Amino acid sequence: MSETIEDLVLRLAKERGEGKTICPTEAAKAAAGQRGEDDWQARLPGVKAAAVRLARRGSVSIYRKGKPVDPEDFKGIYRIGLPHGRA
């Protein structure tokens, strides 16, 4: 059974550990791989939406240039990680 994208993003962030982040492409590639798909780029919007939902709940933080950003108001290149102080 495949994980939801939210579960996958959270698992990857936890595996990477506190103080480190994952690239959204890592989650997109893992999600596509679980489903036997080659087109991981098509999964990127779903990864971003999942990251925003998780960030709203406080499960992850979205980072730009190493700093947490508002999940409702960010653009460009970002990374996903555990919130500071949570493991």
Structural domains in the chain?
Answer: 5-81 (1.10.10.10)
pLDDT over threshold 60, residue 1: no
pLDDT in tens, 6-44: 999 999 999 999 999 999 999 999 999 999 999 999 999
pLDDT in tens, 59-72: 999 999 999 999 99
Opening angle at CA 41, ends 77 and 21, nearest 5: 40
pLDDT over threshold 90, residue 87: no
Whether 48 and 24 have beta carbons less than 8 Å apart is answered as: yes
The residue assigned the tokens 């500071």 is 84
Q: How many other CB atoms are found less than 10 A from the CB of residue 9?
A: 28
pLDDT over threshold 80, residue 85: no
